[in-house]
Amino acid sequence: MILPKGREFTPAQLTEVTEIVGEFGCRIQPIIGALRSIYAIVGDERDELMMNRLEGLSFVERVDRIQSPFKLMDVRSDLARHAIQLGGVTLGRELCVIAGLCTIDPKNPNYFYETAAAVKEAGATALRGGVWKPRTNPYSFQGDDRSLDILMEGSRRTGLPVDAEVMDEHQLGLALAAGVPVLQVGARNALNYSLLQQIGRAIAGHGTVVLLKRSIHMGPINEFISAAEYIVSFGNPNVILCPRGTAPTLDGYRSHPDESIVPLLKERTWAPVIVDPSHSVGKASYVPAAALAAVAYGADGLCIESHVAPSHGIGDDPKQAITPEVLKTLIAKAREVWAVVRRK
Ligand code: PEP
Ligand code: MN
């Protein structure tokens, strides 16, 4: 990873650096940070001569040689100073809560609009709404392109940024064209490297944020961080990690709750962590406790399914969405836990 002396390399400097690493079979991927840009060396960067030549350039401040499977996401990386903003909140400084429907019902858009207004009133910082849905049963409702308009209308009405899952290039194209600011990668696609690559390439140079769920099959911590690294390696550092419970399930819950991995993640990576307690425990009555536990473990935020009338919802909402009233109390308590945990 190359750190420039100035804010960023000039085109001539970038060409010079690119030529040097090219001689050693590597390429340069610029990563545009809020404070300054850094330049990742993609390829085998162990060659001493290459490193020495880079370090010898007058416009290079230093070349980081982090021995880590994820050089960009590592806590020691220069990118650790990168701050991600969501709905006016800087992640890590204030609790961030993404809340809303599991799945937008295109036949009943008012449930989404009413929920959007109510979760905003409850203190949510961003809005979620599934447009396209990964399903266990292929005959279940898989989503509808029309729900994208409903999602964006909810965003306009509330002024909140929205999060929706995309599962393929078609959905990615539509979501970006509509201006969806937070793209969710679901637990079933968390290791779908061709999707991660498509997303990484499509959002390079944009402010789009990715909410990357942890793979359902108890993916090792490093595998989770490396998947985030893969997206970031295309140039956009706005990736948030989202533990959401794993398989096999803890008897009685939908998944095996995994909010306890937050301190392990924090030890290895600077990436913000937003925990999803809804898919973890899978039942509305268990969600508040799991959410508070996540904040106690050091989560930077929560992603919670909420619905004004859960029994009228579709997807996961009838069983695991909490009402905005419950959400409001939960957010107030979560802020108290946050203050206790982060007190110096
Ligand atoms: C969802 O967020 O509604 C969802 C399907 O999540 P996951 O990919 O974690 O199962
Ligand atoms: Mn869901």
21 φ, ψ (degrees, to nearest 5): -65, -30
Ligand approaching nearest to the C-alpha of 321:
2
Which residues on adjacent β-strands are paired with residue 256? 246
Under 8 Å between Cβ of 242 and 258: no
Q: Tell me if residue 32 falls in helix, strand or coil.
A: coil
Average pLDDT over residues 125-134: 95
Q: What is the mean pLDDT of residues 253-277?
A: 98
Confidence of residue 218 (pLDDT cuts 50, 70, 90): confident
Going along the chain from its start, the domains and CATH numbers come out as: 2-65 (3.30.70), 85-342 (3.20.20.70)
Ligand 1 centroid–CA 44 distance in Å is: 35
In whole angstroms, what separates CA 201 from the centre of its chain?
16
pLDDT at residue 143, rounded to an integer: 86
Mutation choice for ligand 1 from 211, 218, 276, 317, CB with most ligand atoms inside 8 A: 276
Q: What is the pLDDT of residue 142?
A: 84
Enter the tokens of residue 149: 């308009």
pLDDT in tens, 17-54: 999 999 999 999 998 776 788 999 988 888 999 999 99
Report how far residue 82's alpha carbon sits from residue 213's, in angstroms, rounded to the nearest whole number.
20
Q: Kindly list the distances between the CA atom of residue 154 and the CA atoms of 9, 113, 119, 327, in Å, as whole numbers in the listed order.
A: 41, 5, 11, 18
**pLDDT tens-digit series, residues 296-315:** 999 999 999 999 999 999 99
- Residue 312 is predicted with a pLDDT of 98
- Give residue 230's pLDDT: 94
Provide the H-helix boundaries in the chain.
Answer: 11-23, 48-55, 109-122, 147-158, 169-178, 193-203, 221-232, 262-268, 277-281, 287-296, 317-320, 324-342
What protein residues have CB closer than 5 angstroms to ion ligand 2? 102, 316
Split at pLDDT 50, 70, 90, the class of 73 is very high
Report the chain's mean pLDDT, rounded to a whole number.
Answer: 95
Given a contact cutoff of 8 angstroms between Cβ atoms, the answer to whether 141 and 167 are in contact is no
CB of 214 within 6 A of ligand 1: the answer is no
d(CA 306, CA 327): 7
Averaged pLDDT, 65-92: 91
Å from CA of 135 to ligand 1 middle: 9
Residue 136, pLDDT score: 72
Residue 198: both structure tokens together = 């498509």
CB 109 within 8 A of CB 148: no
Q: Chain centroid to CA 263: how far?
A: 17
Query: Is the pLDDT higher at 32 or at 116?
Result: 116
pLDDT attached to residue 33: 73
Tokens of 339: 């203050």
Predicted confidence at residue 46, as pLDDT, reads 82
CA pair distance 178, 172, nearest whole angstrom: 10
Supply the angle between the helices 193-203 and 221-232 in degrees, to the nearest 10.
40
Percent of the chain with pLDDT over 70: 100
pTM: 0.93
| Most informative mutation of 131, 279, 304 for ligand 1 (most atoms within 8 A of CB) | 279
Does pLDDT of 66 surpass 90?
no
Token code pair at residue 90: 């800087």
Site to substitute for ligand 1 among 127, 184, 249, 306, most atoms within 8 A of C-beta: 184
Strands 274-275 and 301-305: parallel
CA distances from 232 to 4, 163, 204 (A): 19, 18, 8
pLDDT-derived band at 150 (thresholds 50, 70, 90) equals very high
Query: According to the model, what pLDDT value does residue 78 have?
Result: 87
What are the b/e assignments for 317-326, b being 16+ CB within 10 Å? bebbbbbbeb
The bound ligand whose nearest atom lies closest to the alpha carbon of 192 is: 1
Strand partners, 90: 85
Which sign does the torsion angle of CA 316, 322, 323, 327 carry? negative
Euclidean distance between CA atoms 13 and 102, whole angstroms: 47
Buried b (16+ CB within 10 A) or exposed e, 265-276: bbebbbbbbbbb
